[in-house]
Structure 1
Amino acid sequence: MARLADLVDWCDRYLAVSDFTDYAPNGLQVAGPEQVQKVVSGVTASQALIDGAAERGADLLVVHHGFFWKGEDPRVVGMKYRRLSRLLEAGIGLLAYHLPLDAHAEVGNAVGLGRALGWQVEGPFAERNGGPLGRVGSLTEPCSGEELADSLGAILGRPPLHIRGHGRPIRRLAWATGAAEGFIEEAADRGMDAFVSGEISEPTVHIARECGIDYFAAGHHATETFGPDALARRLAEEFDLDHEFLDVDSPA
């Protein structure tokens, strides 16, 4: 068992939350029991994830996408009411870390994706709002765009959308998880052969073709499973807690 306040303080300091300007509050979003033993982690604090955490007797839920985003309706009604009610009824606290969990050098989404694919990290990429939201690196062996798409699909469990911008081998690439397609021009300007993110928007197709860079939309959810799992595992090790990662499938 560990005190909730100690867990929150450790995560806030470990992720350097105060360094970031974000679109939602990072840290404790919903209070839970003062003592924590079972932690469940996941990508998004959806109803399905909350229900799964309750079924597993969780005291604390750790996610990447929590609540209270800037610009949303602040009223606690409808879907938000149902989610919060379930958390409160089950006695589960909610910890959410957005940009700090994208950027972190050890448990971040970007480094986790690169580690899973075996990419060699060479430096930061897309430094925004307090930290590097992505990374640049290289492949141990150059490959074709089709081969890179195959490796992404094998690791993430879903084929990426591949926009071909050239026909040369891919050696160096940049990547940032989630809704990071807007960084593609920065990747092209830095001479990358490929750029990988989670989502794609209509302009991304034309930018890839006109800037001569291969682009891969590998899935917002799929590319951001690494951070919440790694953070919660690290937290569980530090405080001798039980931990389980729940992957609530999302095709987005």
Structure 2
Amino acid sequence: MNNLTLESILNEKLCPEMVKDYCPNGLQIEGKSEVKRIITGVTASQALIEKAIELEADALLVHHGYFWKGEPESIRGMKGKRIRALIRHDINLYAYHLPLDIHPELGNNARLADLLDIHVEGGLEGHPQSVAMYGHLSQPLKAEVFGQIIERVLDRKPLHISAGDQLIRTVGWCTGGGQDYIELAAAKGLDAFISGEISERTTYSAREQGVHFFSAGHHATERYGVKALGEWLAEHHALDVTFIDIDNPV
């Protein structure tokens, strides 16, 4: 498949033009024109690039790419090493950030809901492009039990800030660095909120507003969107796609 055709297919599926983001979405670094083998992963780290080179990939498709708003613009140091490696081996880099968080089928939030058996009700921000979601469980659960489910599904023990003995029926969530959406969860009267990261202030927000908070890891909560996107490409467009999980404890 032509590399620009692949970008068009991804753009049509993820609709990046609908989202105001902190980085460019789509083809960030252009490589060879013909794409047959794709490596998917969460972040375009040096380790993932080296794996793509080893497997002779034509393209790398990630959630966290480059050229973030506010970062130094110079291509040097770690950033320069990564980009030189991609260019030297003629590897295309495609990255989709918020569009891959919010996609209703393949997005990080949608995949996390499926994995945790949360029935999606809508966006916490009240519109279709909401980065944070909310829904309900099939049956009420003790917080300790829900934490065990998260640990089993994500293979990562979450940090739990307890809100007492209340059972969990309703849940809000935002994968990655979405801890501050706990305020919307509290305003909506939800029992629990899940995110990847936690801040110092999150502890007090959870305790004082009576919301169980689970910090399950930025990387761990965002493995599943790009993996699902790659599987979709393989199924519908006959591309050779391999997901590589580079361990990240954060």
State whether TM-score is above 0.5.
Answer: yes
Which of 158, 162, 169 is matched with 1:164 structurally? Answer: 162
Question: 2 CA distance for matches of 1:238 and 1:191?
Answer: 41
Question: 2 CA distance for matches of 1:216 and 1:85?
Answer: 38
Question: 2 CA distance for matches of 1:166 and 1:134?
Answer: 24
Aligned length: 250
* 1:41 maps to amino acid: T
Question: 1 CA distance for matches of 2:124 and 2:24?
Answer: 23
- 2:114 is aligned to 115
Instruction: Write the deviation string for residues 86-137 of structure 1: whole angstroms up to 9, x where unpaired.
Output: 1112221000000010010010000000101111112122468x81212211
Instruction: Please say if residues 39 and 236 of structure 1, whose CA atoms lie closer than 8 Å, have aligned partners that are also in contact.
Output: no
Q: Does 2:205 correspond to 1:212?
A: no
* 2:183 maps to amino acid: E
- 1:9 is aligned to 8
Question: 2 CA distance for matches of 1:185 and 1:134?
Answer: 11
| DSSP 3-state at the match of 2:186 | helix
| DSSP 3-state at the match of 1:48 | helix
Backbone CA RMSD of aligned residues: 1.1
Once the two structures are TM-superposed, the CA of residue 211 in structure 1 deviates from its matched residue by 0.3
Question: 2 CA distance for matches of 1:15 and 1:237?
Answer: 16
Structural mapping, 1:85-100, within 5 Å: 85-100=84-99
- 1:25 is aligned to 24
Structural mapping, 1:54-73, within 5 Å: 54-73=53-72
Question: 2 CA distance for matches of 1:67 and 1:207?
Answer: 32
Moved more, 156-165 or 228-237: 228-237
Could you list the structure 1 runs, at least 4 aligned residues long, displaced by more than 2 angstroms after superposition: 125-128
Once the two structures are TM-superposed, the CA of residue 31 in structure 1 deviates from its matched residue by 0.3
Instruction: Please say if residues 102 and 134 of structure 1, whose CA atoms lie closer than 8 Å, have aligned partners that are also in contact.
Output: no
Q: Does 2:231 correspond to 1:233?
A: yes
User: Structure 2: where are the runs of 5+ without partners?
Assistant: none
Once the two structures are TM-superposed, the CA of residue 249 in structure 1 deviates from its matched residue by 0.4
| DSSP 3-state at the match of 2:132 | strand
| DSSP 3-state at the match of 1:57 | coil
| DSSP 3-state at the match of 2:105 | coil
* 1:157 maps to amino acid: D
TM-score by length of 2: 0.97
Once the two structures are TM-superposed, the CA of residue 237 in structure 1 deviates from its matched residue by 2.0
| DSSP 3-state at the match of 1:131 | coil
- 1:179 is aligned to 177
Question: 2 CA distance for matches of 1:179 and 1:197?
Answer: 7
Instruction: Please say if residues 162 and 212 of structure 2, whose CA atoms lie closer than 8 Å, have aligned partners that are also in contact.
Output: yes
| DSSP 3-state at the match of 1:244 | strand
Q: State the percentage of identical aligned residues.
A: 44
Instruction: Please say if residues 132 and 181 of structure 2, whose CA atoms lie closer than 8 Å, have aligned partners that are also in contact.
Output: no
Instruction: Please say if residues 3 and 35 of structure 2, whose CA atoms lie closer than 8 Å, have aligned partners that are also in contact.
Output: yes
- 2:152 is aligned to 154
| DSSP 3-state at the match of 1:196 | strand
Instruction: Please say if residues 7 and 27 of structure 2, whose CA atoms lie closer than 8 Å, have aligned partners that are also in contact.
Output: yes
- 1:105 is aligned to 104
Instruction: Write the deviation string for residues 129-179 of structure 1: whole angstroms up to 9, x where unpaired.
Output: x81212211111211111111100101111000000131110010111000
Instruction: Please say if residues 7 and 235 of structure 1, whose CA atoms lie closer than 8 Å, have aligned partners that are also in contact.
Output: no
Structural mapping, 1:44-63, within 5 Å: 44-63=43-62
Which of 187, 191, 195 is matched with 2:193 structurally? Answer: 195
TM-score by length of 1: 0.97
* 2:201 maps to amino acid: P
| DSSP 3-state at the match of 2:242 | strand
User: Structure 1: where are the runs of 5+ without partners?
Assistant: none
Instruction: Please say if residues 127 and 134 of structure 1, whose CA atoms lie closer than 8 Å, have aligned partners that are also in contact.
Output: no
